[in-house]
């Protein structure tokens, strides 16, 4: 342990602790900008400078490890003046039009400017001199260089968490900027639209592309029937943007709020998550049968899940040879979209051309996914607008809804029923667990042999998880699987996905089925989730997801009554011709820059 | 535009696939062709298993790792204060008149590109220019025309 003094108070911290974190122990807050809990230290913004007794210069608290006998002052005159100038210098190169900025009141730079309450300009305003670029090419986010303070959180995110490095630091000095390859539009490079960078950008330089106003227009259009679906991970995070602590579930209140906002039908993506399990589980079993029994060499195994659009774009760019290993299932969002304008329209007797299909997602990549040309199998754009969890919170506030005091209500029908298996789609390992709960039962007629249906080996925050399920006591149809060991793997965060994909590409992996989620922690840590998101918060959201599952009466996808009904009335059976038409898709090879 | 062909493979053979090889590879390519094409950068990225944006980011940091198409001879006129005071503008004007291009441009026959550079360390013999790697110093407008005409006849 290391003893040091901060602002004349003693504190003991383990070796390696930074001055910043040592100060936290004492409840002393040191401002930061480039620092982020999920990322390595960068030490480039300097707003965290503090004074060390005896040292000639100020030191960066985020980068400096505490050492024995150190005496630190976080609020001396020297520190205050330096910090003030540092922020003023950042602002001199920053287009500070806060009232028109999407990050207004949510911006870390603005908060600092507020704390140090600047009056008149001390430094020359340099923003007039520079032609900044605003890149609106991605359907998921906007990159506005005039708001960028070059803290490089985004660059570290894209490289450390996602191993995509769609953006890097380019040029130098006053020309330094965050740039894609040759500054090409973000829509034309390897960017997966995952929005992890958006979630970490302290300013308005990276923000989701918002569709709030278009959704309001649809709601106010009395000619339209506006259907909304909510992804599993939204209900465990939305509260954070509305004054709740991380990990509080707000499902029932969220449903009520959506009704009050004026959506005509409030439905659940969880319904199509259950449906995904039926389709994807059947696809997996079919592939296994073709490969093992029929000896079909054309069958691609292992099979990868396909519900994460960031992952899909990643593999299309980086491992085009593995596209046949992807399940052909659309994501639950897109299955829902296609069904909203076909099955739902039929059932409710609504003209599909009058349906506007909106989804609330923890994800920015879903905005991109909804725009893919493949996603029009209903004859219309299957999902019209995608809003993030954050945007929904904005709408709730815009409508003046007193969220905390709302009654809890249930989803509408049809397409509002779900099971615990669908809810856990929101956490890494959840799709795998849901699939195993159903597939094992199809094959053996018995429940998965795990206590209380909780398949512990596939849960948790390890970047790559592996499990083996021995299949015993198969029914007659499936006896070719008797005694087989089903090997599965799970990865979340593209840096981990890349490890598995590479092993598969090099023929070094012996798995049958692999779940991949582009975002750390799965959708609970999605790019569209409340800010901040970090390990602690992801953990809390994950716990919330599993308690939501445990509290539901039905916990296996194949038991969802609406799923049973849709097969009886509409789709006939999993992987039927109609299913393929509406619920499955294909992929395209993309460039590698 | 030059054809990348086996160039990148050759450089990778020579320097290896570690991240540290990035600089020597880029330097060698530029040594041969004066600038990096998009194709070359993408291929280097693939070979080293890093992203193309990272290769571009690194290259764009260094003035001499050009990512814009350049002619066979890249003329860099020193713009730093000593050269400026010793008549850099006259030198520049003379070159512009001779080659019929402006600063930042390349001649139609792709022979010459005209750029400015920060200090190249020849202040004591200002004004100075570089043509590719070769410095020319204590220039006058007449002298610089002779130098460039020499290259025209090469
Ligand atoms: S990024 Fe922050 S400081 Fe800049 S204009 Fe937006 S809100 Fe204001
Ligand atoms: S875009 Fe945002 S995260 Fe990236 S360097 Fe700029 S301010 Fe920082
Ligand atoms: S959206 Fe994801 S892939 Fe794209 S730049 Fe941001 S972190 Fe990288
Ligand atoms: S937070 Fe310490 S240098 Fe940026």
What CATH number corresponds to the domain at position B39? Answer: 1.10.10
Rounded mean pLDDT of A387-401? 98
The verdict on A225 and A195 lying in the same domain is: no
Nearest to B46 among A169, A179, A592 (CB): A592
CATH of the domain at A516: 3.40.50.1780
If 0-12 CB within 10 Å is exposed, 13-18 middle and 19+ buried, where does residue A491 land? buried
Residue B66 lies in a domain: no
For the CA of A162, the nearest ligand: 3
Rounded (10°) CA dihedral A315, A316, A320, A322: 40
**pLDDT exceeds cutoff 90 at A120:** no
Query: What angle, rounded to 10 degrees, do the helices at A251-261 and A389-398 form?
Result: 60
Interface test with A, best of B36, B46, B57 (most A CBs within 10 A): B57
The verdict on A514 and A585 lying in the same domain is: yes
Helices (H) and strands (E) in chain B, counts: 7, 4
Interface test with B, best of A167, A181, A506 (most B CBs within 10 A): A181
The verdict on the CB of residue A477 being under 6 Å from ligand 1 is no
CA distance B154 to B151: 5
pLDDT at residue A193, rounded to an integer? 98
Search chain A and give the residue with CA nearest B54. Answer: A168
Q: What are the tokens at A541? A: 């959201």
pLDDT at residue B77, rounded to an integer? 97
Residue B68 lies in a domain: no
Residue B24 lies in a domain: yes
DSSP state of A458: G
Q: What are the tokens at A479? A: 């006896």
Interface test with B, best of A150, A165, A178, A505 (most B CBs within 10 A): A165
The verdict on A327 and A414 lying in the same domain is: yes
pLDDT at residue A482, rounded to an integer? 93
Residue A264 lies in a domain: yes
pLDDT tens for A532-576 read 999 999 999 999 999 999 999 999 999 999 999 999 999 999 999
The verdict on B131 and B87 lying in the same domain is: yes
Nearest to B50 among A165, A169, A182 (CB): A165
The verdict on A400 and A485 lying in the same domain is: yes
Rounded to the nearest 5 percent, the helix, strand and coil shares of chain A are 40, 15, 45
Least confident of A96-105, A126-135, B133-142: A126-135
CA distance B73 to A248: 66
Exposure on the CB side of residue A536, measured as CA atoms within 13 A: 6
The verdict on B99 and B143 lying in the same domain is: yes
A480–B contact, CB cutoff 8 A: no
Q: How far apart are the first and last CA of chain B?
A: 21
CB A457 within 8 A of CB A467: yes
Cross-chain Cβ contact B52/A190 below 8 Å: yes
CATH of the domain at A28: 3.10.20.740
Q: State the pLDDT confidence band at A279, using cuts at 50, 70 and 90.
A: very high
The verdict on A165 and A241 lying in the same domain is: no
If 0-12 CB within 10 Å is exposed, 13-18 middle and 19+ buried, where does residue A73 land? middle
The verdict on A202 and A247 lying in the same domain is: no
Residue A323 lies in a domain: yes
Q: State the pLDDT confidence band at A129, using cuts at 50, 70 and 90.
A: confident
pLDDT at residue B3, rounded to an integer? 82
Q: How is the beta sheet containing A513-517 ordered, strand by strand?
A: A303-304, A513-517, A485-492, A464-470
The verdict on A477 and A506 lying in the same domain is: yes
Rounded mean pLDDT of B122-143? 96
CA distance B110 to B147: 18
Q: State the pLDDT confidence band at A23, using cuts at 50, 70 and 90.
A: very high
pLDDT tens for A195-209 read 999 999 999 999 999
A554–B contact, CB cutoff 8 A: no
Provide ipTM, 2 decimals.
0.93
pLDDT tens for A233-249 read 999 999 999 999 999 99
Cross-chain Cβ contact A593/B45 below 8 Å: yes
Domain count, chain A: 3
CA distance A270 to A276: 9
Q: Which of A558, A32, A477, A519 has its CA nearest to residue A289? A: A477
pLDDT at residue A559, rounded to an integer? 97
A35 CA distance to ligand 4 middle (Å): 5
The verdict on A184 and A297 lying in the same domain is: no
pLDDT at residue A11, rounded to an integer? 97
Residue A569 lies in a domain: yes
Domain count, chain B: 2
Residue B10 lies in a domain: yes
A101 CA distance to ligand 1 middle (Å): 6
Beta bridge partners of A18: A65
The verdict on B96 and B128 lying in the same domain is: yes
The verdict on B107 and B141 lying in the same domain is: yes
Last residue of a domain, one of B61, B82, B108: B61
pLDDT tens for A256-266 read 999 999 999 99
**pLDDT exceeds cutoff 80 at B1:** no
Residue A94 lies in a domain: no
A60: containing domain = 2-75
pLDDT tens for A434-444 read 999 999 999 99
Residue A242 lies in a domain: yes
Residue A104 lies in a domain: no
CA distance A142 to A209: 6
Average pLDDT of chain A to the nearest whole number: 96
**pLDDT exceeds cutoff 80 at A117:** no
Nearest CA residue ID for atom 4, ligand 2: A154
The verdict on B83 and B114 lying in the same domain is: yes
Active-site amino acid positions of A = 280, 283, 307, 327, 366, 369, 374, 523
Q: How is the beta sheet containing A385-388 ordered, strand by strand?
A: A265-268, A225-230, A355-361, A385-388
Residue A108 lies in a domain: no
- Which residues of chain A does B54 touch, with a Cβ-Cβ cutoff of 8 Å? 159, 165, 168
A414 CA distance to ligand 2 middle (Å): 43
pLDDT tens for A433-473 read 999 999 999 999 999 999 999 999 999 999 999 999 999 99
The verdict on A23 and A163 lying in the same domain is: no
Distance from CA of B50 to the nearest CA of A (A): 8
The verdict on B18 and B42 lying in the same domain is: yes
pLDDT tens for B24-81 read 999 999 999 999 999 999 999 999 999 999 999 999 999 999 999 999 999 999 999 9
Q: State the pLDDT confidence band at A128, using cuts at 50, 70 and 90.
A: confident
pLDDT at residue A576, rounded to an integer? 97
The verdict on B103 and B139 lying in the same domain is: yes
A154–B contact, CB cutoff 8 A: no
Residue A553 lies in a domain: yes
Rg (CA), chain A: 25
**pLDDT exceeds cutoff 90 at A188:** yes
The verdict on A294 and A270 lying in the same domain is: yes
Last residue of a domain, one of B61, B83, B100: B61
A151 CA distance to ligand 1 middle (Å): 14
Search chain B and give the residue with CA nearest A176. Answer: B61
Residue B67 lies in a domain: no
More confident residue, A500 or A126: A500
Last residue of a domain, one of A75, A101, A131: A75
Q: What are the tokens at A424? A: 């856990």
**pLDDT exceeds cutoff 80 at A118:** no
Pairing of strands A303-304, A513-517: parallel
The verdict on A248 and A305 lying in the same domain is: yes
pLDDT at residue A550, rounded to an integer? 95
Residue to substitute in A109, A180, A205 for testing ligand 2 pocket (most ligand atoms within 8 angstroms of CB):
A205
B133: containing domain = 73-152
Output the DSSP codes for A304-369: EP---HHHHHHHHHH-GGGGGGB--BPPHHHHHHHHHTTHHHHHHT--GGGEEEEEEES-SHHHHH
pLDDT tens for A286-303 read 999 999 888 899 999 999
Cross-chain Cβ contact A181/B46 below 8 Å: no
CATH of the domain at A155: 3.30.70.20
The verdict on B54 and B77 lying in the same domain is: no
The verdict on the CB of residue A43 being under 6 Å from ligand 4 is yes
pLDDT at residue A174, rounded to an integer? 87
pLDDT at residue A466, rounded to an integer? 96
Last residue of a domain, one of A24, A47, A75: A75
Q: Which of A390, A392, A309 has its CA nearest to residue A358? A: A392
SS3 A423: helix
The verdict on B49 and B98 lying in the same domain is: no
Residue B51 lies in a domain: yes
The residues of B whose Cβ lies within 8 A of any Cβ of A are 38, 41-42, 45-46, 50-58, 60-61, 67
pLDDT at residue A122, rounded to an integer? 82
CATH of the domain at B85: 3.40.30.10
pLDDT at residue A190, rounded to an integer? 98
Cross-chain Cβ contact A180/B53 below 8 Å: yes
The verdict on B141 and B95 lying in the same domain is: yes
pLDDT at residue B2, rounded to an integer? 81
Q: What are the tokens at B79? A: 């713009």
SS3 A10: strand
The verdict on A150 and A270 lying in the same domain is: no
Q: CA triplet A353, A187, A593: central angle to 5 degrees?
A: 145
């Amino acid at each position: 342990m290391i003893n040091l003094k901060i602002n004349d108070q003693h504190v003991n911290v383990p070796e390696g602790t930074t001055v910043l974190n040592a100060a936290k122990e004492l409840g002393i807050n040191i401002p930061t900008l480039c620092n982020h809990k999920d990322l390595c230290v960068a030490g480039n913004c300097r707003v965290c400078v503090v004074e060390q007794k005896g040292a000639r210069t100020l030191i960066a608290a985020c980068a400096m490890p505490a050492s024995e006998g150190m005496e630190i002052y976080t609020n001396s005159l020297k520190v205050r003046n330096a910090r003030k100038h540092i922020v003023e210098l950042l602002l001199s190169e920053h287009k500070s039009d806060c009232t028109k900025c999407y990050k207004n009141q949510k911006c870390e730079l603005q908060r600092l400017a507020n704390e140090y309450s600047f009056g008149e300009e001390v430094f020359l305003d340099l923003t007039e001199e520079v032609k900044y670029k605003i890149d609106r090419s991605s359907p998921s986010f906007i990159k506005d260089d005039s708001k960028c303070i070059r803290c490089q959180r985004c660059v570290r995110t894209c490289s450390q968490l996602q191993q995509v490095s769609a953006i890097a630091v380019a040029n130098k000095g006053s020309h330094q900027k965050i740039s894609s390859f040759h500054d090409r539009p973000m829509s034309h490079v390897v960017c997966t639209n995952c929005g992890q960078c958006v979630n970490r950008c302290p300013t308005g330089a990276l923000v989701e592309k918002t569709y709030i106003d278009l959704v309001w227009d649809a709601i106010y259009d009395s000619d339209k029937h506006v259907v909304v679906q909510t992804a599993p991970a939204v209900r465990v995070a939305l509260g954070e943007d509305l004054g709740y602590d991380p990990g509080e579930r707000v499902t029932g209140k969220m449903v009520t709020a959506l009704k009050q906002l004026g959506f005509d039908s409030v439905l659940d993506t969880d319904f199509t998550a259950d449906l995904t399990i039926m389709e994807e589980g059947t696809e997996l079993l079919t592939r296994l049968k073709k490969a093992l029994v029929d000896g079909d060499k054309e069958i691609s195994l292992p099979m990868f899940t396909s519900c994460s659009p960031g992952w899909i774009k990643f593999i299309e760019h980086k491992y085009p040879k593995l596209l046949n290993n992807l399940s052909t299932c659309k994501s639950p969002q897109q299955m829902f979209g296609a069904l909203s304008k076909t099955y739902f329209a039929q059932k409710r007797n609504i003209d599909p051309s009058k349906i506007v299909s909106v989804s609330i997602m923890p994800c920015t990549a879903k905005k991109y996914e909804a725009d893919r040309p493949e996603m029009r199998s209903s004859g219309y754009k299957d999902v019209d607008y995608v809003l993030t969890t954050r945007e929904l919170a904005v709408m709730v506030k815009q409508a003046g809804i007193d969220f905390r005091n709302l009654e809890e209500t249930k989803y509408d029908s049809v397409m509002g029923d779900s099971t615990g298996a669908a809810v856990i789609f929101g956490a890494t390992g959840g799709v795998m667990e849901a699939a195993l709960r159903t597939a094992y039962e199809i094959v053996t007629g018995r429940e998965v042999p795990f206590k209380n249906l909780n398949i512990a080996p596939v849960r948790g925050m390890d970047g790559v998880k592996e499990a083996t399920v021995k299949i015993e006591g198969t029914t007659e149809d499936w006896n070719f699987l008797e005694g087989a060991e089903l090997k599965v793997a799970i990865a979340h965060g593209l840096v981990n996905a890349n490890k598995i994909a590479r092993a598969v590409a090099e023929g070094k992996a012996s798995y049958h089925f692999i779940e991949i989620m582009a975002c750390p922690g799965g959708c609970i840590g999605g790019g569209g989730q409340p800010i901040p998101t970090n390990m602690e918060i992801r953990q809390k959201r994950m716990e919330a997801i599993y308690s939501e599952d445990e509290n539901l009466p039905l916990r296996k996808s194949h038991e969802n009554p609406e799923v049973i009904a849709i097969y009886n009335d509409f789709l006939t059976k999993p992987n039927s011709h109609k299913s393929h038409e509406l619920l499955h898709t294909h992929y395209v090879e993309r460039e590698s820059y | 535009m030059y054809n990348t062909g086996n160039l990148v493979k050759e450089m990778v053979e020579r320097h290896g696939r570690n991240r540290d090889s990035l600089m020597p590879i880029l330097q060698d390519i530029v040594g041969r062709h004066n600038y990096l094409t998009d194709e070359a950068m993408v291929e280097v990225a693939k070979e080293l298993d890093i992203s193309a944006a990272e290769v571009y980011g690194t290259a764009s940091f260094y003035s001499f790792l050009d990512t814009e198409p350049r002619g066979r001879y890249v003329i860099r006129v020193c713009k730093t204060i000593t050269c400026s005071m010793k008549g850099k503008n006259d030198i520049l004007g003379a070159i512009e008149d001779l080659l019929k291009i402006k600063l930042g441009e390349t001649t139609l026959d792709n022979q010459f590109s005209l750029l400015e550079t920060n200090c190249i360390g020849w202040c004591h013999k200002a004004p100075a220019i570089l043509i590719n790697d070769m410095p020319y110093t204590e220039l006058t407008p007449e002298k610089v025309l002779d130098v460039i005409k020499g290259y025209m006849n090469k």
